[in-house]
Amino acid sequence: MKIITVVGARPNFMKAAPIVAAIREHNKQAGQTYDGLDGQIADPTIDHVLVHTGQHYDALMSDSFFADLNLPAPDIQLEVGSGSHVLQTAHIMEKFEGVLLRERPDLVVVVGDVNSTIACALVTAKISFDVAGTRPLLAHVEAGLRSFDRAMPEEINRVITDHVSDLLFVTEESGIRNLRDEGISPDAIHFVGNTMIDSLLTFKDKADASTILSRLGLRAQGSGNGNGNPTARYALLTLHRPSNVDNRDTFQEILHGLEGLAADCPVVFPVHPRTQKRIKDFGLELATSIRVDATECGTGAKGIILTDPLGYLDFVCLMKHAAVVLTDSGGIQEETTCLGIPCVTVRENTERPVTVESGTNMIAGTTKKGIADVIRRQMGRKYSNRMPRKWDGEAAERIVNISVRAYCERASTRPLNFRSPLIPSCR
User: Which whole-number Å values give the CA distances from 247 to 38, 40, 165, 250, in the listed order?
Assistant: 61, 58, 34, 5
Q: Assess 82 for contact with ligand UD1 (CB under 6 A).
A: yes
Question: Given the DSSP bridges, would you call strands 324-327 and 235-238 parallel, antiparallel or unpaired?
Answer: parallel
Q: How far apart are CA 15 and CA 141, in angstroms?
A: 8
Across 231-261, b (16+ Cβ under 10 Å) vs e yields bbebbbbbbbbeebbbeeebbebbbebbbeb
Residues 233-262 within binding reach of ligand UD1 (CB under 6 A): 240
Q: Assess 160 for contact with ligand UD1 (CB under 6 A).
A: no
Nearest alpha carbon to residue 2 among 48, 33, 51, 44: 48
Residue 425, classed as helix, strand or coil, is: coil
Q: Assess 79 for contact with ligand UD1 (CB under 6 A).
A: no
**Residue 58: CA count within 13 A, CB half-sphere:** 11
Letters for 354-393 (x = contact with ligand UD1 by CB under 6 A, - = none) are ----------------------------------------
Q: Assess 153 for contact with ligand UD1 (CB under 6 A).
A: yes
Bridge partners (DSSP) listed for residue 392: none
| Nearer to ligand UD1 (CB atom), residue 84 or residue 420 | 84
Q: How far apart are CA 292 and CA 314, in angstroms?
A: 14
Nearest alpha carbon to residue 246 among 212, 286, 225, 275: 275
Stretch that binds ligand UD1, among 258-266, 267-275, 359-367, 407-415 (CB under 6 A): 267-275
CB 278 → ligand UD1: shortest distance, Å? 10
Stretch that binds ligand UD1, among 52-60, 177-185, 286-294, 382-390 (CB under 6 A): 52-60
Stretch that binds ligand UD1, among 53-61, 174-182, 191-199, 214-222 (CB under 6 A): 53-61
Binding-site size, ligand UD1 (CB under 6 A): 18
| Nearer to ligand UD1 (CB atom), residue 273 or residue 340 | 273
Q: Out of 204, 256, 274, 368, which residue is the one contacting ligand UD1 (CB under 6 A)?
A: 274
CB 25 → ligand UD1: shortest distance, Å? 28
Nearest alpha carbon to residue 123 among 150, 101, 148, 155: 101
CB 263 → ligand UD1: shortest distance, Å? 29
| Nearer to ligand UD1 (CB atom), residue 9 or residue 423 | 9
Residues 115-144 within binding reach of ligand UD1 (CB under 6 A): 115
| Nearer to ligand UD1 (CB atom), residue 245 or residue 286 | 245
Q: Assess 57 for contact with ligand UD1 (CB under 6 A).
A: yes
| Nearer to ligand UD1 (CB atom), residue 153 or residue 365 | 153
Q: What is the DSSP string of 302-343?
A: SEEEEE----HHHHHHHHHH-SEEEES-HHHHHHHHHHT--E
Q: Out of 30, 41, 49, 61, which residue is the one contacting ligand UD1 (CB under 6 A)?
A: 61
Q: Out of 154, 162, 308, 351, which residue is the one contacting ligand UD1 (CB under 6 A)?
A: 154
Q: Assess 410 for contact with ligand UD1 (CB under 6 A).
A: no
Residue 109, classed as helix, strand or coil, is: strand
Question: Are the CB atoms for 402 and 426 separated by under 8 Å?
Answer: yes
Nearest alpha carbon to residue 325 among 282, 288, 287, 359: 359
User: Which whole-number Å values give the CA distances from 415 to 122, 135, 375, in the listed order?
Assistant: 20, 11, 55
User: Which whole-number Å values give the CA distances from 357 to 173, 174, 231, in the listed order?
Assistant: 11, 11, 29
Q: How far apart are CA 368 and CA 260, in angstroms?
A: 10
Q: Out of 55, 124, 195, 337, which residue is the one contacting ligand UD1 (CB under 6 A)?
A: 55
Q: Assess 9 for contact with ligand UD1 (CB under 6 A).
A: yes
Stretch that binds ligand UD1, among 108-116, 206-214, 336-344, 398-406 (CB under 6 A): 108-116
Catalytic center residues:
240
Q: Using CB under 6 A as the criterion, which residues of the chain lie in contact with ligand UD1 when the complex forms?
A: 9-11, 55-58, 61, 82, 113-115, 153-154, 240, 272-274
